[in-house]
Amino acid sequence: MTDTRRFDGHGVLVTGAARGIGAATARRLAEEGARVYATDVDGAAAERTAAALRERGLEVRAAECDVADRASVEAAVAGAADAFGSLDVLVNNAARCAPDTPAFEDDSDEEWALDLDITLTGAHRCCRAALPHLAASGRGAIVNIGSVNALQDYGNHAYSAAKAGLASLTRTLAGHAAARGVRVNLVVPGTVRTSAWRGREAALDRVRGLYPLGRVGEPEDIAAAVAFLASRDAAWITGTALTVDGGLTAVNTGFRAAVQESGA
């Protein structure tokens, strides 16, 4: 547990908070004094996460929220604002990532639409509902969770396109929200060890060798970046993307290894 308390008195809403990056973010912000509304489409799982954090003396409530449904989003935002008296931070973490089909032309409209609706439009719904509350707080901040898939080809066409759109939304919303005193930033994770990799540990171990820092990320690595961008330590930062990827997009490890092996 961190000794830093940058979020005393802050009301925070985190989407996709039942597990992985969302759960780690809820924990990190609560450890720093925030009152956290942990939401997820799986409301029971969100409650289990919140209950475990409450057992540690942290102020975390849970609610079901389907970011694909406007009414559900608006109810969650209103619930957080009512519970805490203000909403100061929104973390858009909910996402969907469908596997690619073997041939691009076999991609379905339905899978494409679902990835974009949850990953990109879902964040838009949350921002739209939360922005008046964030502006009223006087210290509002939005942190969107992006992906290195928006920067380079790592597969997953629809998810990658949605994350690229989220990066653009971050910039355009930052320009609009600045006059209202709200900062909007993006965290760009590389490979993170979450339940999405369960059963594929061998692949995760192979991926590790591509990272200059010698490991894949942990949810806590991303949560720490979110906490920074949401805090007053980042008071003069908006519209930016903070890449947290162990050096993956900065260094082509495979190319370097191939050159060194060839003696070139």
Answer yes or no: is 210 within a domain.
no
Answer yes or no: is 211 within a domain.
no
pLDDT in tens, 215-260: 999 999 999 999 999 999 999 999 999 999 999 999 988 888 888 8
- Looking at residues 171-183, what average pLDDT do you find? 98
Q: Is the pLDDT of residue 264 over 60?
A: no
Count of domains for the chain: 1
Answer yes or no: is 140 within a domain.
yes
Answer yes or no: is 51 within a domain.
yes
pLDDT in tens, 39-67: 999 999 999 999 999 999 999 999 999 99
Answer yes or no: is 261 within a domain.
no
Q: Is the pLDDT of residue 1 over 80?
A: no
Output the 3-class SS for the chain.
Answer: CCCCCCCCCCEEEECCCCCHHHHHHHHHHHHCCCEEEEEECCHHHHHHHHHHHHCCCCCEEEEECCCCCHHHHHHHHHHHHHHHCCCCEEEECCCCCCCCCCCHHHCCHHHHHHHHHHHHHHHHHHHHHHHHHHHHHCCCEEEEECCHHHCCCCCCHHHHHHHHHHHHHHHHHHHHHHHHCCEEEEEEECCECCHHHCCCHHHHHHHHCCCCCCCCECHHHHHHHHHHHHCHHHCCCCCCEEEECCCCCCCCHHHHHHHHHHCC
Q: 112 — phi, psi (to 5°)?
A: -60, -50
Please state the separation of Cα 133 from the chain's center in Å.
Answer: 20
Q: What CATH number is associated with residue 54? A: 3.40.50.720
User: What's the rounded Cα separation, in Å, for the pair 126 and 170?
Assistant: 13
Tell me the catalytic residues.
Answer: 159
| Mean pLDDT computed over every residue of the chain | 96
Q: 198 — phi, psi (to 5°)?
A: -60, 130
Answer yes or no: is 67 within a domain.
yes
Answer yes or no: is 36 within a domain.
yes
Task: Say what the pTM is.
Answer: 0.95
Query: Residue 125's domain spans which residues?
Result: 11-198+218-250
Answer yes or no: is 213 within a domain.
no
Cβ neighbors of 257 (< 8 A, separation 6 or more) are none
pLDDT in tens, 74-117: 999 999 999 999 999 999 999 999 999 999 999 999 999 999 99
